Amino acid sequence: MPWVWSGWERIWLRFHPVTPVRPGSLFAFRRVDHVLELHLDGRALALMRRESGYSTFKALRELREELGVIASRVRRGELGDITEINGTSLMGEAGGVLGFEIRPLPRNFANVLRQYFLVGLDAIHHPRGLRERAMRRWPAETWMTVETLLERYTEKSAPR
* 116-147 pLDDT per residue, tens: 766 666 656 555 555 566 566 656 788 999 99
Q: What is the pLDDT of residues 48-87, one digit of tens each?
A: 877 888 787 888 899 999 999 999 999 999 999 999 999 8
Cα 25 from chain centroid (whole Å)? 10
Record the pTM.
0.78
What the chain holds in terms of domains, given with CATH numbers, is 2-157 (3.40.630)
Q: Where are the alpha helices (DSSP H) in the chain?
A: 2-15, 42-50, 56-75, 92-97, 109-125, 132-136, 146-152
The residues pairing with 40 across neighbouring beta strands, listed in sequence order, are 27
